[in-house]
Structure 1
Amino acid sequence: MYLFFDVSANGQPKSWKASLTDPFNWPRLVHLSWLMYNKDRELIASSDDLIKPEGFEISVETEQKAQITHQDAVEKGVPLKEALLRFKDAVEKAEYVIAHNMKFNEGVVTAEFYRKNIPHLLGSSDKYCLMQEATWYCKLPGKTGGYKWPTLQEIHTKIFNSRYTNANNALGDVSACVVCFFALLDLEAIELFD
């Protein structure tokens, strides 16, 4: 089974080199969305959780980028532990865990698992970063030579010659990740590891 996930977080990590279990480095989780597909590419499970903030305020920058207000998260959000336990169960059933910018998404979620003292298998899963794997397909010039890592919007535009809507929203982004991943498999532009 394929598990695709995406997060919206309250900022960026202080250091990209820090441990995934460093709760002071990784930003707080604001929105967690995941979609699970079987081998026939049929959606079999999903979750779209706005997270109720616990001990932090959602920044104005995050509100603007993710289109989530602090007030909405307080009023409509679910407890962090509830969302994490649902995601943990999905990870345990997945053969492949896929995200665009895996390092960021995994870092945010792993730090939250650590904060809540929830054991999980995300670190030992077969993970696949669409951003890194689509680099050669997109062939976007980097500032210092070579190719840059493409944004999800750039990958979508390269494949479909159109932009996707609802960008920077976890559900919108994970949905775009799914269609891009399966399209790249069909184009034989990427392959799964065994």
Structure 2
Amino acid sequence: MKDYLLFIDIEASGLPKDWEAPYSEEGNWPHTVQVAWFVYTQDGQEVKQQNHYIRPDGFQVSPESIGVHSLTPEFLNANGENREQVLLRLQEDLQHYRPMVVGHFMQFDFHVLSADFYRAGLPSPFEKLPVFCTMIASSGLTHLPRKKFLRLGELYSNLFHLSLENQHNAVVDARAAAQCYFELRKRRVITDATIQRQQENRYTTQKKPKPGFKSSYSIWLVAGLGAILFILLLFYWL
């Protein structure tokens, strides 16, 4: 078990068009516009907190996303930092504390940040660290037939009987994820075994490029030749 936990949340410029696409695919993966992280010890002592806005250099923030997190281009240009500098700060803390990285809907944060690291020409630090998702861990708390996972605000309300104010601010959401994690630990919804199971089924930054025309053509060619050979053998034996 790691000595430290790093709770992270991001706000982004949009949503991925294709979750299976490689990070190199132009225009597929959104950009991080705000990232916040909190470092805690295993017993719940806060060690460090960081919050950074990122200037939208070379990309646009979708109107739908602005409607969710209210981070306009004007605000980000006035308050944002250089993307690479923010990523280097995050990388530095991940390398220093070697934590387990925790988030709610961690798959989104993991891939969007990994795409940002790729675009900045930096190796993703997540690949060598354990990651854990409170959304997956708390799936047993929902009793609605068609709802498998709870949103962060729903989980927070379920655990503390309070509404989560100012959601879709990365600072608020990262801290709330930490509060939910420690409460789920206390209730033994999250155990060492739960954490280990997520590591065995974790996602990876190694996304393979999609097969192009040539490789697809080759697959069909091989399949076609195989079918012809089968028919010839069938006639031979008959």
Q: Same fold (TM over 0.5)?
A: yes
**Runs of 5+ consecutive residues of structure 1 not aligned to the other structure:** none
User: For the Cα contact (< 8 Å) 2:61–2:73, is it kept in 1?
Assistant: yes
Report matched runs for 1:1-194 at 5 Å: 1-20=4-23, 22=25, 24-92=27-95, 93-136=97-140, 138-143=141-146, 148-192=148-192, 193=195
Q: Which moved more, 1:154-163 or 1:14-23?
A: 14-23
Which 10-residue stretch deviates more, 116-125 or 175-184?
Answer: 116-125
Match for 1:75: what amino acid? Answer: A
Task: Provide structure 2 residue ranges, at least 5 long, that are not aligned to the other structure.
Answer: 197-238
Runs of 4+ off more than 6 Å? none
Deviations 1:47-106 (A, max 9, x none): 100111111222222222112111010011011011101111122223311011111001
CA–CA separation in structure 1 for the residues paired with 2:83 and 2:145: 37
Is 2:53–2:81's contact at 8 Å kept on the other side of the alignment? yes
The answer (yes or no) to whether the contact 2:32–2:112 under 8 Å persists in 1 is: yes
Size of the aligned set, in residue pairs, is 190
Report which of the two has the higher share of helix: 2
Q: Secondary structure at the match of 2:51?
A: strand
RMSD: 1.6
- Quote the Cα distance in structure 1 between the aligned partners of 2:110 and 2:136: 14
Paired with 1:119 and 1:55, the residues of 2 have a C-alpha distance of: 21
Amino acid at match of 2:166: N
Deviations 1:96-138 (A, max 9, x none): 11011111001110000000011232122110011101101x1
User: Percent of pairs identical after alignment?
Assistant: 27
- State the TM-score, normalized to the length of structure 1: 0.91
Work out the CA distance in 2 between the residues paired with 1:66 and 1:87: 21
Q: Which range moved further: 48-57 or 21-30?
A: 21-30
Q: Deviations over 1:2-32 (max 9, x none)?
A: 0010010011110122235645321111111
Larger Rg: 2
